[in-house]
Structure formats: structure tokens, C-alpha cells
Amino acid sequence: MTANNSTVAEWPAAERPSSDRVRERILVVDDNETIRRLNAEVLRCSGYEVDTAIDGAEAWAELNDREYDLLVTDNEMPGFTGIDLISEVHAAHMTLPIIMATGNFPAEKFANAPWLRPNAILLKPYTVTNLVEVVQEVLRTARRSRPESPPNWLSAALPDERRTYTA
């Protein structure tokens, strides 16, 4: 990820939550401490509540302890990969939108298991502007697809719209 010569003031502002709406919570997962901290700080400065995890196993524990509006995960992490995490999310029938921010696009995995494909793929290196724009777009799409009061037996499913982003 590159900071690109931009300052925090130049990053696109997130859609600010209104006083009657709770700020959206994002879980950022990356085994690289620098990337994890930078992503978290950029998203906090953009108006989101952000938690972090160092790998898929820690992220899975967080997802079971709290509700999140978005998951941003790396793929290549020791032990429990991003694909493993996405697989667990789907197996648990969580309707959480997911962005995979990775340097290695796992095309073969997605070809063999297309249901694992995240809502968006952000290829490294990416800029902070790219990160915020993709997060905004995925959250905006997820909000539009949620009914006002979802049926008790089923959470709102996200549209099958999937995109890959490059810097």
C-alpha cells in the first residue's frame, strides 16, 4: 500500500454517519503490522470504527464476538488465510461484505469456489485513496441491499456484484 504523497485532508471523506445512525464498524486483518495500522488509521480518519486482527484465526474470534459492517482482509497470512476466513464466514451464513486487500490474487481458488469471492478485491500496492473509495463503495452497496427490517429467518444478501480494483 502506498501513501502516495497525499495528506489525510486529501483522502476522500467517508459518508459521515448522521446523529441517528451508528458509525459503521470495520475489521481490518493483515499480518503485516505496518499495513494493518495504516489501513486502520486511514479508515478511522474517514469516520469509521475500526478493529484489527493479525491473522484469520484472530479475526474469526472477533467476528464471533462482535458485529461488523465490513471485513477487509489480506489473503496470505500464516496458518489461517484470508480464503480460510472467507470460507468460515460463508459457512456460518454471515452476510458480511468482504474486501480482500492482497498482493496475490487467488484466481484458482475463486475459479474452483466462486462463492468465496469477496465483494471487492483491492490489489497491493494500493493508495489510501483507493482503500477509502473501495470501502465506501462496498458499504454503500451493502446498505442499499439491506431491507429496512430483514426477515427474522434470513439476513439480507449482498448483490452478486463483485469487482477487482488496482491502483
137 three-state secondary structure? helix
What is the mean pLDDT of the segment spanning 129-157?
Answer: 76
pLDDT tens digits for range 22-73: 689 999 999 999 999 999 999 999 999 999 999 999 999 999 999 999 999 9
pLDDT band at 164 (very low <50, low <70, confident <90, very high): low
Q: How many CA atoms lie within 13 A of 154 on its CB side?
A: 4
pLDDT tens digits for range 62-121: 999 999 999 999 999 998 999 999 999 999 999 999 999 999 888 888 888 888 999 999
Cis link prior to 125 (omega < 30° from 0)?
yes
What is the pTM for the complete model shown?
A: 0.77
- Provide the β-strand partners of residue 102: 123
Q: What are 148's three cell numbers?
A: 429496512
